Amino acid sequence: MVKTKEQRVHEVFEKISSNYDSMNSVISFQQHKKWREDTMRAMAVKPGSKALDVCCGTADWTLALAKETGPEGHVVGLDFSENMLSVGREKTATTPTIELIHGNAMELPFEDNTFDYVTIGFGLRNVPDYKQVLSEMHRVVKPGGMVVCLETSQPDSMFFNTFFRMYFRFIMPIFGKLFAKSYDEYSWLQESQKDFPDRKQLTALFEDVGLKNVTSKPYSGGAAARHIGYK
Ligand SMILES: C[S@@+](CC[C@H](N)C(=O)[O-])C[C@H]1O[C@@H](n2cnc3c(N)ncnc32)[C@H](O)[C@@H]1O
């Protein structure tokens, strides 16, 4: 039986959960930390606010959000991989303002207008329907609230774009094999990168679901980008 994208993604993350955090630094040459920090700065999260981190995985961004929302805030992390969540649960055990829940980004289990911030970090390219997930994020954020996506993107320069694709296709799986004994999983992850919208296309998708004042910023020559929009 042919597996759906959703089933395959689920299998991949169930398998790589224990190596995920260290592999992130290997495959992005530590760059992901800078991208995350810059995005958090741009968000200027208000203490005491309520945030949702969609596709939270091992909860790195969830923890960063909780640091900003502080003791009066509340941060929910949602993911459909129990193994990724269980790594996240260990990391967040001493942060009582964080709640990690099992769920699907395609159908968020929250009322309309619930959160001040809704984020997705390196998750959007993995879902079966980008627009459906963005529209769910738009639905659950409060009017005036912020929707934020940090994701790999398509570099502007043709030369760098070709290099980046080659890297994802040939080098990253080798790193996956060497450091995480998972050649197939890291090889498969490039599939989700190569067809992902570029900055302009993702901005248009944000606007299609009703988000306003959408801005984007490229990182590392456009290898990654953050998008921010408001409801
Ligand atoms: C590359 S990881 C990103 C984890 C984390 N946000 C980070 O910044 O490191 C992608 C995560 O998305 C989750 N995911 C993919 N599709 C999903 C879906 N439809 N619903 C919920 N989680 C999903 C995977 O289980 C995985 O934990």
* Cα 104 to ligand 1 centre (Å): 10
3-state secondary structure 141-198: EEEEEEEEEEEECCCCCHHHHHHHHHHHHHHHHHHHHHHHCCHHHHHHHHHHHHCCCC
Residue with tokens 């619930």: 114
> Would the pLDDT of 52 be above 80?
yes
122, 109 contact by CB (below 8 A): no
Handedness of CA 34, 37, 40, 44 (dihedral sign): negative
84 lines ligand 1 (CB under 6 A): yes
- 139 CA to centre of ligand 1 in angstroms: 19
DSSP state of 70: -
> Token digits for 182?
């998972």
Are the C-beta atoms of residues 192 and 200 closer than 8 Å to each other? Answer: no
Q: What are residue 191's phi and psi, to 5 degrees? A: -55, -45
Q: Quick one: DSSP state of residue 69?
A: H
User: Which range marks the domain in which residue 149 is found?
Assistant: 5-106+115-230
Is 215 annotated to bind ligand? no
- Percent of the chain at pLDDT > 70 equals 92
Mean pLDDT along residues 179-189: 69
Helices (H), the chain: 5-16, 20-27, 31-43, 60-69, 82-92, 130-140, 158-166, 172-180, 183-194, 199-208
Q: Is the CB of 28 under 6 A from ligand 1?
A: no
What integer pLDDT is reported at residue 165 of this predicted model? 77
Element (H, E) at 99: strand 98-102
Which residues, at least 6 apart from 130, have a Cβ–Cβ distance to it below 8 Å?
124, 197, 202, 205
Higher per-residue pLDDT: 222 or 109: 109
The number of domains in the chain is: 1
Ligand 1 atom nearest to 53, measured from its CA: 6
- Are 99 and 74 in contact by the 8 Å Cβ rule? The answer is yes
- Residue 143 maps to which CATH number? 3.40.50.150
Q: Is the predicted pLDDT of residue 96 greater than 80, yes or no?
A: yes
Residues 146-174 pLDDT 10s: 999 999 998 887 777 787 777 777 777 77
The interface predicted TM-score (ipTM) is 0.99
